[in-house]
Structure 1
Amino acid sequence: MGSTMNLTSSRIEFSRRTLFAGAAGSLAASSISNEVFAKPVKPKKKQLLLLFLSGGASQFETWDPKPGTKTGGPFRAISTSIPGVKISELLPQTSKIMHRLTVVRSVNSNIPDHFLGHYALQSGRSVPGYPVLGSAVAKLLEQPDDLLPGYISIRRDGPKAYTDVGDAAFLGAKYEGVRIVNNQSPENLIAPLSVKPEITNLVDRVRMATDQRFKMGRNSNPIASYGTTYNQADALMKRREIFDISKESQSDHERYGKHDFGQNCLLAKRLLQSGVTCVKVTHFDWDAHQDNFYWHQIRCAEFDRTLVTLLDDLSEKGMLENTLVVITGEMGRTPQINNLGGRDHWGRAWSMVMAGCGVKPGIVYGSTNELGTEVKENPVKLGDLFHTYLRALGIDSSLDYNIDGQTNPIADPAAKPIDLLLA
């Protein structure tokens, strides 16, 4: 099943790389107005930021601690800015802003698998072939004057594995995520010096004429989709500075943390400021099958400081009211602590968090039993969360896509939004 879901992603990723490479040569003298790129766009539309805790963070060491129990582990629970609500002592800075967060402690995906869990988390379904959240939001929140890609995924270098499962599916290449690795701009954004403007213009005219002829008597949507990708490449060439975090102040680099996650979140803020609809940042190494408590001390220290800094900045810039922030892994960790001091995969009872537009701040929804082995009240499925994300962004999740005359539900009809979470 994993290989089936990767086929489309690999094919489209190759196509986009090819288009970016071609665009660098043939779009050097593009005629798109420089006015559009004179200054960063102040986003008025809704935006989405997904902070993905790859591998599955432990709910016991983050949002749903069980101190003093046989499953609880060694860490204390500390008070938060929500009276009566406690979280792990590994998140001391986050505890001070809990009144700004929306916590769900009762996720039951029942999928203890990285590949399947990540796809189901992002698509709201277990059946393959549907768009992931970033692609869906890029499509559904698209505005006529959008020139930058609607979905950008930021990660460090390394095996793609389950973090890249899923893609735009039937929405087409236009809504496929552009991947940023190690804070480097996409390849081929600078035109070769050997490319002459007159050749560029000629090639561009030939391309457009060829596209028009090729469309005759054929399904034009795939052609238009790749044409849009070509134009997006041109837009990125004109605005490649949006990927350059060296332009951020030294104090901002320090505040966000000089580690991968901190610098990636600094880039994410920059991209959101520039008008990108959806940005995903992956924070790796939460899959602690051994030495769970050691690894969570390291990961939580990075996450805690960076999250608070990021939310503070989005709030101060007036962006948080229009940006939904989703914080989640693809699963939780087992209540049982194994003989290597680790926690294994667990899909039956775990936690996730939201902040920003469209959700009620300062609430904790659902609960688990004393040992954290099962959901006690208000069980939540991944499909319910997918509906909720869309509704929080002002999207009617009960509607259908209509692609080439074929309709597909935007979200799983068997699931529903969680109204108590929506503002």
Structure 2
Amino acid sequence: MLTIKGPSLGRYCDGKSRRSFLKIGGLSFGVGGLSLADLFRAEAAAANPNSSKPSDPSKPSDPSKPRRHKSVINIFLAGGPPHQDMWDIKTEAPSEIRGEFQPIKTNVPGIEICEVFPKLASLMDKAAVIRSVVGCRGGHDGIQCMTGWDPNSLKSIGGRPSIGAAAAKIYGPVDPAVPPFVGLAAKTRHVPWSDSGQAGFLGSAYTPFKPDGPGMKNMTLKGITMERLSDRRQLLRELDTMRRDIDITGAMEGMDAFGQRALDVLTSSKLVDALDLSKEDPKVVARYGDGKPYKYQFDGAPTCNDQLLMARRLIEAGVRTVSLSFGRWDSHGQNFDLVRDHGSKLDQCLSALVNDLDERGMLDDVAIAVWGEFGRTPKINAKAGRDHWNKVSCAWLAGGGMKGGQAIGATNRMGEEPVERPVDMQEIVATLYHCLGIDTQTVTMNDPTGRPQFLVEKSPIAELVG
């Protein structure tokens, strides 16, 4: 593992110390644990061009204008958030359906949401809630929120690529020293809940960059500190010393152009700085919060408020897509206590993210999606919980040039099924592609057989982008 020494700065939500973010050997790509050089070789080998490819909006025709890029932050509420206890409160339903929460007014007349989201209610004009999400297959994983597809689609050739992988393939990096696709999802005991979105048939070159991921090669630079990292000549001298130390193994024979590109990423401060919240204004850090104490986590993700701030910093550094998993919403018991805990924390960090992006002039360029794999049963069970319900779910969207101040769709009095404007999960994914500047009606990517594949089959949500 390539270790770069730095001071210990406390711990992040997954128990990793801040110093561990400087252990570049822990920065891995996907489950396979590819080294950076391996990844760049794979990328170079992925020579199959797209049959249709849009121009990169981060490269303006006028070089005098500042370069901006379109991005997505995909926040997965793993476990299935209860739609009727978040954005679609059913005050007229019987007590065994209605639940414990009351609706509160938002700053958009006529739109009300759950009382645990007062901060989000105050910025409803910048967001949209979807109360009628359909097409949920019912699996306990995030694949539909990452790709829009059932996991069996094109499974024999690798499966469908996620939004982040497709954008990385279509556009490439904004900055050569910053990966275009980063997955922040903390490792969970129920592994599918920590899926940051896979590359599918695009191959390993487009898997997400995962901070503190497992499986990197055991390569340690001796005597390199953060202060000396910026001196590349010194770094190369250290590499030469290490080469001599282990030359009998032949381990250094692979230092080629791809290894040099990997070194460029590792020696750039941009990625490490983006992940280091000690470099952020303490007032901004406090505005997001840290999501602690973690409650109701069990086999799922912690409520990592700080990862939303990391996502903003990563996008500023040049990342196109950031995905993360927030909380564990599988509320078969204690549903209302869980929503009070998770919901209030989400209210804090999500409102902070929207306001932060808005204040920085970034909100129109960064689309935010907050959703889960399905909804929950209208009827409350004997454990004060709600069970799985794939007939309808919900989503919260903001930024990316989308039209805010809307509540799209409606369910019946019991919250059982849509009665107005059902919105397919693929429509949400298509909308996120639209926010990235990718037209899902025309853009295709060649699969390994050479056949062009559309990203999704549905169109973007007209109410948001029309």
Instruction: Give the TM-score band, short-chain normalised.
Output: 0.7 to 0.9
Deviation for aligned residue 1:145: 4.5
2:31 pairs with one of 13, 21, 29: 13
Q: Does the alignment pair 1:411 with 2:455?
A: yes
Report the equivalent of 1:32.
none
Q: Does the alignment pair 1:65 with 2:95?
A: no
Unaligned 5+ residue runs, structure 2? 1-27, 41-65, 225-236, 245-249, 292-302
Amino acid at match of 2:311: A
Report the equivalent of 1:243.
275
Contact 1:102/1:362 (<8 A) preserved = yes
Q: Does the alignment pair 1:300 with 2:338?
A: no
Deviation for aligned residue 1:206: 4.9
SS for the counterpart of 1:14 is coil
SS for the counterpart of 1:266 is helix
Distance (whole Å) between structure 2 residues aligned to residue 74 and residue 272 of structure 1: 38
2:121 pairs with one of 95, 111, 114: 95
Residue identity over aligned pairs, in percent, reads: 29
Counterparts in 2 of 1:322 and 1:290: CA distance versus 1, 3 Å: same
1:386 pairs with one of 407, 429, 439: 429
Amino acid at match of 2:131: R
Contact 1:64/1:88 (<8 A) preserved = yes
SS for the counterpart of 2:358 is helix
Deviation for aligned residue 1:201: 9.0
1:363 pairs with one of 403, 406, 430: 406
1:137 pairs with one of 167, 187, 204: 167
SS for the counterpart of 1:280 is strand
SS for the counterpart of 2:382 is coil
Amino acid at match of 1:101: A
Report the equivalent of 1:172.
203
Contact 1:154/1:179 (<8 A) preserved = yes
Counterparts in 2 of 1:237 and 1:346: CA distance versus 1, 3 Å: farther
Q: Does the alignment pair 1:311 with 2:354?
A: yes
Contact 1:139/1:150 (<8 A) preserved = no
Report the equivalent of 2:230.
none
Amino acid at match of 1:325: I
Superposed CA deviations along residues 71-94 of structure 1, whole A, max 9, x for unmatched, are 120110111111111101111111
Deviation for aligned residue 1:98: 0.6
Contact 2:127/2:398 (<8 A) preserved = yes
The structure richer in helix per residue is 1
Amino acid at match of 2:254: R
Report the equivalent of 1:264.
307
Distance (whole Å) between structure 2 residues aligned to residue 416 and residue 368 of structure 1: 22
Superposed CA deviations along residues 213-256 of structure 1, whole A, max 9, x for unmatched, are xxxxxxxxxxxxxx49x735641432222221111232222111
Distance (whole Å) between structure 2 residues aligned to residue 383 and residue 122 of structure 1: 10
Amino acid at match of 1:282: S
Distance (whole Å) between structure 2 residues aligned to residue 43 and residue 348 of structure 1: 43
Deviation for aligned residue 1:187: 9.1
2:286 pairs with one of 243, 254, 258: 254
Deviation for aligned residue 1:48: 0.7
- Aligned pairs for 1:23-422 (under 5 A) are 44-70=68-94, 71-115=97-141, 118-126=142-150, 127=153, 128=155, 129-143=159-173, 145-159=175-189, 161-165=191-195, 166-180=197-211, 191-193=221-223, 196-198=238-240, 206-207=253-254, 227=258, 231-232=261-262, 234-239=264-269, 240-259=272-291, 260-398=303-441, 399-402=443-446, 406-413=450-457, 415-422=458-465
SS for the counterpart of 1:279 is strand
Deviation for aligned residue 1:368: 0.7
Deviation for aligned residue 1:375: 0.5
Distance (whole Å) between structure 2 residues aligned to residue 189 and residue 257 of structure 1: 35
- What is the root-mean-square deviation of aligned Cα atoms in Å? 3.1
Superposed CA deviations along residues 101-148 of structure 1, whole A, max 9, x for unmatched, are 022111012422213xx2122211112401112212222332574431
Contact 2:188/2:194 (<8 A) preserved = no
Distance (whole Å) between structure 2 residues aligned to residue 331 and residue 288 of structure 1: 12
Amino acid at match of 2:177: L
Contact 1:104/1:364 (<8 A) preserved = yes
Counterparts in 2 of 1:142 and 1:282: CA distance versus 1, 3 Å: same
Deviation for aligned residue 1:350: 1.6
SS for the counterpart of 2:423 is coil
More moved, 385-394 vs 305-314: 385-394
Distance (whole Å) between structure 1 residues aligned to residue 106 and residue 91 of structure 2: 16
Distance (whole Å) between structure 1 residues aligned to residue 446 and residue 203 of structure 2: 12
More moved, 73-82 vs 258-267: 258-267
Deviation for aligned residue 1:14: 2.5
More moved, 303-312 vs 264-273: 264-273
Amino acid at match of 2:122: K
Distance (whole Å) between structure 1 residues aligned to residue 112 and residue 179 of structure 2: 39
Distance (whole Å) between structure 2 residues aligned to residue 12 and residue 170 of structure 1: 14
Aligned residue pairs total 373
Distance (whole Å) between structure 2 residues aligned to residue 349 and residue 412 of structure 1: 20
